[in-house]
Chain A
């Protein structure tokens, strides 16, 4: 009722069109410190965002936990009235037929109580304590159930329930003066994909392994990025560089390069919003437009940006179902799930690691530069590879390459497919510049 009341109020004030985006979330969040449960939380929130237009003037009003919708609709109208015209604005989204997909709602997450959630999480925590050198295990486990509703005066009326889990574990190890750390994380829409013991064990193993570390100098060598190291890199190509807003404003290194070859012929990169149980999947985007599959890079050629309604209509095109939104803000453009498709570059684990000297990067928190496509960041969790074998962990190691080098010189793609944030794919290998303070 909140959404309808808000839209009706905006229209009765005099708006030409109005659209309400309503999201209700509830869930459980657990935090563990030093290996034991510290805080158990439940959360509940209702968010309502209303977009109103008067001709080409647009305004938004929002409320968190509102008691009614009409006043928010009226304020959206007032904001539209106060705003100057935007000549690029064509229309609010029109209703399109949405095929509702399976694989977004896990009853187990929706109905789970705190006790069960705690048992699942503690299994992970216990599994991380591999040896007395593990001095601390901390982390957060969150289960969320959300209902999204979009209702507009143009006839859009869709709603959907979705679930998600998010787990993050951090492990510190200490042996005398040697210190190490490891972490692991996972997310998805279905709890069955979470193996808590494995998640914990891997975090513990990384912490123990990183007790012995070395530093290297400046070298140009093969670097293997695990999926968790790619969640800010591969999706960036779609979410940021091929984002129609960034291209229209000339911010992206892919500006004016539509139809150009930007990568090797064996490589395609796809945005797909309809893969069951992935965190980036939904039947419709945040404007009610059905999600789909967009070939962004096809056989090395930049084929299509991703669009929301505004950016698409500005060019006389159709939205690709990539509107992304926080109810407080104007919809932006964002990737759903990003996949690499390069069957001829597939490699087994042995082939991937078969280098005389290289670096295996488990995680980096860095992202490339939008304007230049350059990546300059830190291998936060990384190991040296010598003659195909993992040796010691690396400290203070920078990595640098450009996204175009990545797309043109990609040597291989692993079969270890994982879903990490909006990346859905395996490890990759390419030559990159690594830099450290010198051997130690």
Chain B
């Protein structure tokens, strides 16, 4: 049965809104450890997610094949009835979108022979292991091709075909009883050309070797410079999550009631933009079929926007921003970031370093997380340098950095001009989606380091 006919059936049952999302994903996973192929896996995934709305309650069910679709639709409606609650009632009158979008790149990754992909990984291993202290190289290449169609009862009908490729290197170095590791990745939308010629393993190896002579960071508050990778994770954790509209609606975000208020100095603007060409967190239509657009969360230090999906846009009386995303169509979409970054400033790194009498240059990101309700966040730097009298002196080890959302942006003293986007994966409510974090270098008046 056609999806349009199913939509009609859903409305006949009594649904106020019906949405059907069909998804096919083709994935190849390659992993080379110490120059040996340890994983060569490929596969296909198929799902149809059916979501219905009834008196403020959502129902969601998944079909494993076209044959199961009608049962899934009935399930979904029954579930929506169970969740219904007059106090949450919503008017389902959102804008609708029609169109298609395709990013396959110059050379779609699934058409590239496995032998050529493996050769790339062997090359990476060779480059990394040329350093004598390198003990273990772990290099992976994951490419996926996701084909989706989303139709809903308001007339939305969008199709997307997106190729995503990411290469990652995790390298361990060892010397005189000390072991250290570093991670580097490169990824984006398109074909194999996205990662060809990259030097991720070599860079990870150099940093792992460099870390062998590192000392623990001095604990406590310090003046700090964050490199673009770390500053990107910082803005994602400290601000991005708090700007997700569902947290705002639920009163769980420190940014609830902050619209129009200053949250940082005029030099700070924070953007979420899924339309940036080729970035790992990009898309044309979100997972509710809403056309994505660039929007400012913070402009010149003032909070001017939240990220929304259909429901949240209604509850906050804002436009849908195209930030509904799901890990796969076996999960309902949630409000999520895409490519979230701090916009360029006008400082050079040299100017920042010369400003600091004593402080820490922290770089690289391992991970981060946030508590939007309390407004505290944590992010973990891969390493750092002690800065003394405008010079980088001692290499520092991995360290956790903690801060409070509403304080830390006000503490930004300088924004660099060297914007850089880093691919990653963001988790929320058990769902992981591809994103990029981005920023230029930042100089921050005071950050708390958790060193030993």
Majority SS at the chain B contact face: strand
Contact with B along A342-357 (1 / 0, CB 8 A): 0000000000000000
Contact string against B for A residues 28-65, beta-carbon threshold 8 Å, 1 for contact and 0 otherwise: 00010110111111111110010000000011111111
Chain B residue at smallest Cβ distance from A180: B374
Confirm or deny: A210 has a beta carbon within 8 angstroms of a beta carbon on chain B. Answer: yes
Stretch of B55-63, B147-155, B186-194 with 4 or more beta carbons under 8 angstroms from chain A: B55-63
Assembled-state Cα–Cα distance A329/B38 (Å): 10
CA distance A251 to B33 in the complex (A): 12
CA gap between A136 and B250 in the complex, in Å: 6
Pick out which of these stretches binds chain B: A333-341, A371-379, A415-423.
Answer: A371-379
Check A172 against B47 for contact (C-beta < 8 Å).
Answer: no
Q: Contact: B43 with A118, CB < 8 Å?
A: no
Decide: B62 and A395 in contact? CB cutoff 8 A.
no
Inter-subunit contact B61/A42 (CB<8 Å):
yes
Query: Does A243 sit at the interface, judged by CB under 8 A?
Result: no
Report which of B113, B114, B374, B400 forms a contact with A181, defined as CB distance below 8 A.
B374
* Interface status of A400 (Cβ within 8 A of chain B): yes
User: Looking at the complex, which one of A114, A115, A136 makes contact with B252 (CB distance below 8 Å)?
Assistant: A136
A370-B181, A371-B172, A398-B219 in contact; A62/B397 too (CB < 8 A)? no
Given A38, A64, A174, which contacts B43 in the complex, CB threshold below 8 Å?
A: A64
Which residues of the other chain, A, contact B41 by a CB distance below 8 angstroms? 49, 59-62, 79, 328-330
B201 → chain A closest CB, angstroms:
15
A138, B252: Cβ atoms closer than 8 Å: yes
B210 within 8 A of A: no
Closest to A118 in B: B82
Q: Are B179 and A253 in contact (CB under 8 A)?
A: yes
Report the minimal beta-carbon distance from A211 to chain B, rounded to whole angstroms.
Answer: 10
Question: Once the chains bind, are B64 and A40 in contact (CB under 8 Å)?
Answer: no
Kindly list chain B residues whose C-beta atoms are within 8 Å of the C-beta of A62.
41-43
Known contacts A40-B60, A376-B400, A397-B402, A79 near B87 by CB under 8 Å: no
Number of A-B residue pairs having CB atoms within 8 Å of each other in the complex: 258
Q: Of B29, B61, B82, B113, which is in contact with the most chain A CB atoms at under 10 Å from its CB?
A: B82
A86 to B398, CA, bound (A): 34
Nearest opposing residue in chain A for B80, CB measure = A40
Q: Assess whether B404 is in contact with A395, with CB atoms less than 8 Å apart.
A: yes
Residue pair B330, A372 in contact (C-beta under 8 Å): no
Is B420 close to A, CB under 8 A? no
- In the complex, A45→B118 CA distance in Å? 31
Closest A residue to B181 by CB, please name it: A371
Contact, CB under 8 Å: B448 / A437: yes
Q: Of B64, B371, B397, B399, which contacts A44 at CB under 8 A?
A: B64
Say whether, besides A33-B250, A435-B448, A40 and B374 are in contact (CB < 8 Å).
Answer: no
Q: How far is the CB of B16 from chain A (nearest CB, A)?
A: 15
Chain B minimum-CB-distance residue to A39: B58
With A63-B43, A82-B114, A251-B136 as contacts: A376 and B62 at CB distance below 8 Å: no
Check: A438 CB closer than 8 A to any chain B CB.
yes
Are A84 and B118 CB-contacts (below 8 A) given A40-B57, A64-B43, A118-B82? yes
User: Within the complex, which residue of B58, B60, B79, B451 is in contact with A376, where a contact is CB–CB below 8 Å?
Assistant: B451
Task: List 13 additional A-B contacts (Cβ < 8 Å) besides A60-B41, A64-B44, A377-B380.
Answer: A39-B60, A40-B82, A49-B41, A61-B42, A61-B43, A86-B38, A249-B135, A251-B179, A371-B172, A376-B452, A435-B450, A437-B221, A438-B221
Listed by A's residue number, 28 A-B pairs whose Cβ atoms lie within 8 Å are A39-B79, A39-B83, A40-B59, A41-B60, A42-B61, A45-B330, A63-B45, A72-B43, A75-B42, A83-B114, A84-B36, A136-B252, A181-B374, A249-B136, A249-B138, A249-B172, A252-B179, A329-B41, A330-B38, A376-B452, A377-B450, A378-B378, A380-B371, A400-B452, A401-B452, A435-B451, A437-B446, A438-B221
